[in-house]
């Protein structure tokens, strides 16, 4: 069985109960010839909240991300986005829902088109969704390079990178470009799948601080997936722990070191520097 707080409500600051943006109800996924990747997982994510998801390699973190992004289909269970059954949508309805959920992948080099100049990369989602008009691009929706410049500015990159290609940027700059692209549709939910693990240690803190600031500026919800408990603790309002496809612990970030934590949570935490 899934574990954690009730699926339908979450406690925000001041004790206010919030209806969740994302609900995961008894989600399961099994791949042919393999053990179950996810087993009966349930949790929810409120508007403006960051839920950190941790677990060792093979715990099901990436599988869960793929299901939420609808890159895979669950064997059973529900994925509700603003109450809509994301797991069951098809065709145009699915495409329309996807504009509300964007992703930052682990490796920015693999996630960026090596041939496209940076300005084309960051506005590519907008060209796929011409009906979307983000508030921060008001009045320049059809000025493509200007839109790209605004997006890049929000992640700390200047207009000098507009005409470069990914190979001409550092790893940290490439991840900033990927973040700018993910912001372009002003999504409600941003899935961050190990967004700093491929970066130098000196750059990781910069990207984490950037993501934290953008979350507040855009009032986005984050699902922050990582094996790095220190990064998750820094970013998250709540933390969920996966072990062998099962959700074993869900708690407020400030409760990480409490003795009542699940034994696996304590073991996982003790094995990593904070």
Local confidence pLDDT in tens for the 274 residues of the chain: 334 333 333 444 445 566 789 999 999 999 987 778 999 999 999 999 999 999 988 899 999 999 999 999 999 999 999 999 999 999 999 999 999 999 999 888 888 999 999 999 999 999 999 999 999 998 898 899 999 999 999 999 999 999 999 999 999 999 999 999 999 999 999 999 999 988 888 899 999 999 999 999 998 999 999 988 899 999 999 999 999 999 999 999 999 888 889 988 888 887 766 5
**Residue extents of the structural domains in the chain:** 1-100+223-274
Give the pLDDT confidence score for residue 8 in this predicted structure: 38
Give the pLDDT confidence score for residue 15 in this predicted structure: 53
Q: Is the dihedral of CA 38, 11, 50, 266 positive or negative?
A: negative
pTM assigned to the model: 0.89
Q: What is the Cα–Cα distance from 63 to 188, expressed in whole angstroms?
A: 21
Q: How does strand 84-85 pair with strand 76-81?
A: antiparallel
What backbone torsions phi and psi does residue 136 show, to the nearest 5 degrees?
-80, -5
Give the pLDDT confidence score for residue 2 in this predicted structure: 38
What backbone torsions phi and psi does residue 189 show, to the nearest 5 degrees?
-130, 130
Domain 1-100+223-274: which topology?
Rossmann fold (3.40.50)
What are the tokens at 43? 């949790």
Complete DSSP assignment for the chain: ---SS-SS-EE-GGG-EE-EEEEEEEEEEE-TTS-EEEEEEEEEEETT-EEEEE--TTSSHHHHHHHHTTSS--SEEEEEETTEEGGG--HHHHHHHHTTEEEE-S-HHHHS-TTS-HHHHHHHHHHH-TT---GGGTT-TT-HHHHHHHHHHHTT--GGGTT--GGGS-HHHHHHHHHHHHHTT--SEEEEESTTTTS-HHHHHHHHHHHHHHHHHHT-EEEEE-S-HHHHHHH-SEEEEEETTEEEEEEEGGGTT-TTS-HHHHHHHHTS--
Give the pLDDT confidence score for residue 144 in this predicted structure: 94
């Amino acid at each position: 069985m899934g574990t954690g707080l009730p699926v339908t409500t979450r406690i925000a600051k001041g004790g206010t109960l919030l209806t969740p943006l994302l609900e995961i109800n008894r989600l399961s996924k099994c791949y042919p010839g393999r053990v179950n990747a996810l087993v009966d997982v349930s949790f929810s994510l409120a508007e403006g909240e960051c839920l950190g998801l941790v677990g060792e390699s093979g715990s099901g973190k990436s599988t869960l991300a793929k299901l939420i992004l609808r890159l895979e289909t669950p064997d059973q269970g529900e994925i509700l986005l603003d109450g809509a059954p994301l797991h069951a949508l098809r065709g145009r309805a699915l495409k329309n829902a996807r504009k509300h959920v964007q992703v930052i992948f682990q490796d920015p080099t693999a996630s960026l088109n090596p041939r496209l100049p940076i300005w084309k990369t960051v506005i590519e989602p907008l060209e796929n969704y011409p009906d979307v008009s983000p508030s921060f691009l008001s009045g320049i929706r059809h000025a493509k390079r200007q839109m790209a410049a605004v997006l890049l500015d929000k992640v700390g990159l200047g207009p000098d990178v507009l005409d470069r290609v990914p190979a001409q940027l550092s790893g940290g700059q490439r991840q900033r470009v990927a973040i700018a692209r993910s912001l372009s549709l002003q999504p409600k939910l941003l899935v961050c799948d190990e967004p700093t693990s491929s970066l130098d240690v000196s750059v990781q803190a910069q990207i984490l601080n950037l993501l934290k600031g953008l979350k507040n500026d855009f009032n986005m919800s984050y699902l922050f997936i990582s094996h790095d408990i220190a990064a998750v603790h820094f970013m998250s309002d709540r933390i969920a722990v996966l072990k062998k496809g099962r959700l074993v612990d869900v708690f407020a970030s400030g409760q990480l070191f409490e003795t009542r934590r699940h034994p696996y949570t304590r073991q996982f935490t003790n094995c990593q520097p904070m």
